[in-house]
C-alpha cells in the first residue's frame, strides 16, 4: 500500500514580513481612495445616502485590515508543502484547512517569480501549473525555490516518460 507522506516543509519566516508590508501598502491605497471619495462627497454636496454608504465601506475596510494583520502569522504557521517523485502535496489554512495533492503526471509547468517585496527579502514564489489550475508555494529562499522547481520539473518529466 502506497501512503502519501504528510507535508513537512515550511515557508521562510520572512514571508510574514512580506505579507504584512503588502497588506499595509494595500491599506494605504484603500485609505487614499476612501479619502478621495469623502472629499468628492463634500465638494459636490452629494446626497446623504452616499455619506452613509462611504461610512459602511470604511467600517468594512477597517475590519478587513484588522483581519489582514492577523492572517499572515496564521498562514505561515499552517502552510506546509512536500514534493516527491509521485506527488506535490500542499497543506494550508488555519480555520479552513485545505489539502491539495497534485500528481506529478498532471504537472505541465513549474516556474519561479519574484516581485519587489519578495526581492527585498530574497524570496521567490513557485507556481505549478496543471491543465485545470495553478498552485503557488509562496516565499521560499532562492536556493530552496530553485531546487524545488528543478526537482518538480524532473519528477514531472520522469513520470511523463514512464506513462
**Mind listing the pLDDT tens digit for each residue in 3-34?**
889 999 999 999 999 999 999 999 999 999 99
d(CA 137, CA 10): 10
**Cα 82-91-62 angle, rounded to 5 deg:** 135
Task: Confirm if 54 and 38 have CB atoms less than 8 A apart.
Answer: yes
- Residue 95: pLDDT band (50, 70, 90) is confident
Task: Confirm if 143 and 123 have CB atoms less than 8 A apart.
Answer: no
For the whole prediction, is pTM greater than 0.85?
no
Match 463634500 to its residue by C-alpha cell: 42
In the predicted structure, residue 70 carries a pLDDT above the cut 90: no
Amino acid at each position: 500500500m502506497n501512503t502519501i507522506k504528510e507535508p513537512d516543509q515550511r515557508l521562510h519566516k520572512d514571508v510574514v514580513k512580506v505579507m504584512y508590508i503588502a497588506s499595509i501598502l494595500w491599506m494605504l491605497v484603500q485609505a487614499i481612495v476612501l479619502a478621495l471619495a469623502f472629499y468628492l462627497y463634500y465638494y459636490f454636496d452629494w446626497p446623504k445616502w452616499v455619506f452613509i454608504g462611504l461610512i459602511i465601506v470604511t467600517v468594512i475596510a477597517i475590519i478587513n485590515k484588522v483581519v489582514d494583520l492577523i492572517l499572515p502569522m496564521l498562514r505561515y504557521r499552517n502552510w506546509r508543502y512536500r514534493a516527491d517523485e509521485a506527488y506535490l502535496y500542499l497543506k494550508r489554512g488555519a480555520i479552513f484547512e485545505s489539502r491539495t495533492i497534485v500528481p506529478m503526471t498532471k504537472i505541465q509547468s513549474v516556474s519561479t517569480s519574484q516581485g519587489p517585496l519578495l526581492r527585498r527579502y530574497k524570496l521567490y514564489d513557485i507556481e505549478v501549473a496543471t491543465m485545470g489550475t495553478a498552485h503557488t508555494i509562496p516565499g521560499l529562499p532562492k536556493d530552496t525555490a530553485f531546487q524545488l522547481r528543478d526537482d518538480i520539473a524532473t519528477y514531472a518529466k520522469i513520470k511523463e516518460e514512464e506513462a
